[in-house]
Structure 1
Amino acid sequence: MFIAYLMYKKSWIVLIGLLLLLTNALIQLDSGIRVEPHSLIYLNSLFLIITLSFFIWRYNKETAYYKSLRTLSDDVGEGWFEDVPKPHSSFPDPMVYTLLQNIHQHYQNKRREEQSSQLMEHTDLASWVHEMKTPLTAMKITIDAHRSNELAQRLNASWLRMHLLIDQQLYISRLANLDSDLLPEKLEVKDLLREEIRELSTWCMEKNISIDLTANTVSAVYTDKKWCRFVIRQFLTNAIKYSPTNGKLFIHMGLHENESVIVTIKDEGPGIQAHDLPRIFDKGFTGENGRIQNSATGMGLYLAKEICKKLHVRLEVDSAVGEGTSISMVFTSDNPFEMLRRTLL
């Protein structure tokens, strides 16, 4: 940094060097000035030592504030401005401090505006979802009241898909506050699966899809019922959506390594392209199958992934084109929920 400082002060160094040369030239050319050669060497040496000492002193003084800022820049956090040191010199450090203060204030104002806007959007979205649930509930009551009517029953599957999309939007609006909404308890995954299969039975019957549910062991886990059911619902709806008519879903529960409960949902759909597989959990990504279906939002798997992070559930995906897709939920035995349960026993 000292070399950079000298380069920055090169005009001063050139000026001092020229003045020294001019002084030496005057001493040598002016006959009225008599200086012994050893005295001239002494004078030049003393001048250079004083100049170098001056530059070192000014370097330490002028760069002290910037060194502290450089140290701060290596670890910038949310409260970075609170760590910015107050300027000691009168110029130009106060100008730098004022600039950083204005940038920080502008950033804070911008952030408050964005948070307020996001909060308003989430509030409007949640309000809209709740408003939509009222007519959907009325439609469901009407459909259930006319079970013998073929037209009403044909509308049942369409109503279910609308209900799932509205429900998905509701969970999107709640995702930011997921941590405060978790209520872990000991649950049987088999029961959660059966409840979701029952909810989606109308859609399965419309496509004549059968479900093969097998379990080799007890499937008790410690997790949140509402959010876990939503994740299972996303995987089941995806499997049903991409399964062919008269197809079959395979759901298996068993023990994974380290006695972790694993739930695998496999469909007979078109499968996922190898280049799409690493991105299926990205927000808004639909892939080739989604474009063909023209009904994918790219949000279902993203939400499932984000929720699974909070539930400490590991996801594993296996797919091959033309052979279907298999998604596994691994409820690890060493997650914080399970450890908390063990401490309460």
Structure 2
Amino acid sequence: MEGNRIVMFIRDYLSFILLYSMMLMVAIIFLILQNTIDYKNGDIVYFLIIEMTILITGLIADYAKHIKYSNQLISTIKHMDELHDIALIDSPVTTEQKLVVTLLKKQNSTYLNKTEKSCRQQEFRNHFTLQWVHHMKTPISIIDLHLQEVSQENNTIDSETLESIKEELYKVESGLKMMLDTARLDKFEIDLQISRLPLHELIRNIINEHKELCIRYAISPHIEGEAWIETDKKWFNVVINQFISNSIKYSKNKSGAKSVLFKIGTQPDGTVTICVKDEGIGILESDIPRIFDPFFTGENGRITGESTGMGLYLVKQICDRLGYKVSVSSEKNIGTSFIIHLNNQNIYQTIMSDY
């Protein structure tokens, strides 16, 4: 193995050795012509011995200087399945070798970051699946309990029980939808269809899907303003659905009539804004910076016990991929306002950057 490395080293330095030999021959010829050395007395032999000694000594010193770097490279190549081994290459000598080591470490760091991100995403999905299964057990158990009560009461269902069954079924359906939307998020670009749609009509249709719960908990949805936007209908519906679901979830336990306002406006640059303002229990100020983090439920999630911590995370991911900006402000026990900025140019720029 060592012999192979010496051969490789000599091969790399062959052009230098040949150039040195040519220059040495030229120097000898020049010295002879100048009568500086006498080739008959063996002066040339002594001169050659000295020069070759210098050359060989220099090559040996250079080989000793590079051997550690070469050994590290060979070791890393043999253990490419262990990515962190690249960090062991710490003996570059020349500027070129230093650049190569820097490049390898940057590539390794980029790959490790992407791998770590992929692992985190997989952990998020697995954790969400476990949470989802756990949360689905409660509404299913309640439905089963109500059905047992109905069977014991000669198949009669009072209106309150019926409403409760409907609400639990709504929770099951919402949980199923969120799980499917989260699963499809990785294939977002493949599942994207952009079209021009009336924003006010989209919101109105989604509100109608929640009207029974709104009536039950005295929540009055309102829409102010009109606008047309270019978006993906299915993904945009997920965002609006989440806002309405949260408004109901965090307003239903407050007494009296409540409202949810969808205020649509258009900025001078053509950006359409939607402000979703509810009169729920609000968000604790210390929780606001983390509400878009996956699995973060905050104080409200602990109070209601219904939060998975994935709804607003899903909203933020969808808005980012559509080129929308979303912000939030809230006052505890007063209500919460979410504002989305929708720019038709941003959506195409964001989509193109993903390909």
- TM class by shorter chain equals 0.5 to 0.7
Hey, what does 2:65 align to over in structure 1? 59
1:234 equivalent in alignment to 2:266: no
- Contact 1:210 1:247 (C-alpha < 8 Å) held by counterparts: yes
- Contact 1:147 1:153 (C-alpha < 8 Å) held by counterparts: no
Over aligned residues, Cα RMSD in angstroms? 3.9
Alpha-carbon distance, 1:191 to partner: 1.0
Hey, what does 1:194 align to over in structure 2? 204
Please show how residues 82-161 of structure 1 align to structure 2 within 5 Å.
151-161=161-171
Alpha-carbon distance, 1:321 to partner: 2.1
Name the TM-score, length of structure 2 as normaliser: 0.59
Code of the residue aligned with 2:311 in structure 1: it is G
Hey, what does 1:180 align to over in structure 2? 190
Equivalent of 1:269 in 280, 291, 300: 280
Hey, what does 2:330 align to over in structure 1? 319
SS of 2:167 mapped into structure 1: helix
Name the TM-score, length of structure 1 as normaliser: 0.60
- Contact 2:324 2:347 (C-alpha < 8 Å) held by counterparts: no
Q: Deviations over 1:18-67 (max 9, x none)?
A: xxxxxxxxxxxxxxxxxxxxxxxxxxxxx999978744442135425444
Q: How many residue pairs were aligned? A: 243
Alpha-carbon distance, 1:173 to partner: 1.7
Code of the residue aligned with 1:275 in structure 2: it is S
Partners of 2:64 and 2:160 in 1: CA distance? 91
Alpha-carbon distance, 1:258 to partner: 1.8
Hey, what does 1:3 align to over in structure 2? none
Partners of 2:159 and 2:335 in 1: CA distance? 35
Partners of 1:314 and 1:257 in 2: CA distance? 17
Hey, what does 1:289 align to over in structure 2? 300
SS of 1:187 mapped into structure 2: strand
Hey, what does 2:103 align to over in structure 1? 71
Partners of 1:59 and 1:178 in 2: CA distance? 53
Partners of 1:321 and 1:79 in 2: CA distance? 43
SS of 1:193 mapped into structure 2: helix
Code of the residue aligned with 2:189 in structure 1: it is D
- Contact 2:322 2:350 (C-alpha < 8 Å) held by counterparts: no
1:303 equivalent in alignment to 2:314: yes
Partners of 1:161 and 1:155 in 2: CA distance? 10
- Contact 1:263 1:330 (C-alpha < 8 Å) held by counterparts: yes
Hey, what does 2:178 align to over in structure 1? 168
Code of the residue aligned with 1:60 in structure 2: it is H
Partners of 2:278 and 2:260 in 1: CA distance? 5
Name stretches of at least 5 consecutive residues in structure 1 with no aligned partner. Answer: 1-46, 81-106, 130-135, 137-145, 341-345
Hey, what does 1:332 align to over in structure 2? 343
- Contact 2:321 2:350 (C-alpha < 8 Å) held by counterparts: no
- Contact 1:223 1:337 (C-alpha < 8 Å) held by counterparts: no
- Contact 1:258 1:333 (C-alpha < 8 Å) held by counterparts: no
- Contact 1:156 1:202 (C-alpha < 8 Å) held by counterparts: no
CA change 1:70–1:228 in 2 (3 A) is same
Alpha-carbon distance, 1:170 to partner: 1.5
Partners of 1:263 and 1:235 in 2: CA distance? 11
1:222 equivalent in alignment to 2:230: yes
Partners of 1:60 and 1:338 in 2: CA distance? 49
SS of 1:180 mapped into structure 2: coil
Of 164-173 and 224-233, more deviation after overlay is shown by 164-173
Code of the residue aligned with 2:168 in structure 1: it is S
- Contact 1:214 1:253 (C-alpha < 8 Å) held by counterparts: yes
Alpha-carbon distance, 1:150 to partner: 6.0
Hey, what does 1:209 align to over in structure 2? 219
Code of the residue aligned with 1:225 in structure 2: it is K
Equivalent of 2:262 in 251, 255, 260: 251
Alpha-carbon distance, 1:277 to partner: 0.5
Identity %: 30
Of 64-73 and 261-270, more deviation after overlay is shown by 64-73
- Contact 2:292 2:312 (C-alpha < 8 Å) held by counterparts: yes
Code of the residue aligned with 2:344 in structure 1: it is S
Code of the residue aligned with 2:316 in structure 1: it is K
Q: Deviations over 1:63-122 (max 9, x none)?
A: 254444453112337789xxxxxxxxxxxxxxxxxxxxxxxxxx9xxx99x98xx89x99
CA change 1:180–1:339 in 2 (3 A) is closer
Partners of 2:60 and 2:350 in 1: CA distance? 65
